[in-house]
Amino acid sequence: MSAHSEETRQFIEAEPTVLEAGAEAAGQRLDQWLAASLGPDMSRSRVQMLIKQGAVTIDGKPVDETKRKMSAGERVSVVMPEPEPAEPQGEAIALDVLYEDDELIVINKPAGLVVHPGAGNWTGTLVNALIHHCGDSLSGIGGVRRPGIVHRLDKETSGVMVVAKTDRAHKALSEAFADHGRTGDLERAYLALVWGIPPRPTGTVDAPLGRAADRVRRAVVPEGRDDARHAVTHFTVQERFGENQQEFATASLVECRLETGRTHQIRVHMAHIGHPVIGDPDYGQAFRTKANRLPEPLKSQVKAFSRQALHAWLLAFRHPTTHLPMRFEAPIPRDMEELVGGFRTLNPPSKT
- Express each pLDDT in 184-220 by its tens digit: 689 999 999 999 999 999 999 999 999 888 777 899 9
Region 58-72: mean pLDDT is: 91
Output 315 or 182, whichever has higher pLDDT.
315
Region 244-266: mean pLDDT is: 93
The dihedral built from the CA positions of residue 297, 300, 303 and 306, taken in this order, carries a sign that is negative
The pLDDT of residue 348 is above 90: no
State how far the Cα of 310 lies from the Cα of 153, in Å rounded to an integer: 10
Output 3 or 246, whichever has higher pLDDT.
246
pLDDT reported for residue 141: 62
From 31, 41, 154, 167, the catalytic residue: 154
Amino acid at 144: V
Region 120-130: mean pLDDT is: 87
Average pLDDT of the chain to the nearest whole number:
87
pLDDT > 90 fraction of the chain, expressed in percent and rounded: 59
CB of 276 within 8 A of CB of 287? yes
State how far the Cα of 191 lies from the Cα of 61, in Å rounded to an integer: 49
- What pLDDT band is residue 89 in, cutting at 50, 70 and 90? confident
pLDDT reported for residue 158: 97
CB of 203 within 8 A of CB of 192? no
pLDDT > 70 fraction of the chain, expressed in percent and rounded: 89
Is the pTM higher than 0.75?
Answer: no
Region 66-70: mean pLDDT is: 92
Collapse the DSSP code of 127 into the 3-class scheme (helix H, G, I; strand E, B; otherwise coil) and give the result.
helix
**Annotation says 96 is catalytic:** no
Amino acid at 231: A
Q: What is the DSSP letter of 38?
A: T
Burial class (CB in 10 A: 0-12, 13-18, 19+), 306: exposed
| Distances in whole angstroms, Cα of residue 298 to Cα of each of 66, 250, 344 | 52, 12, 10
pLDDT reported for residue 41: 58
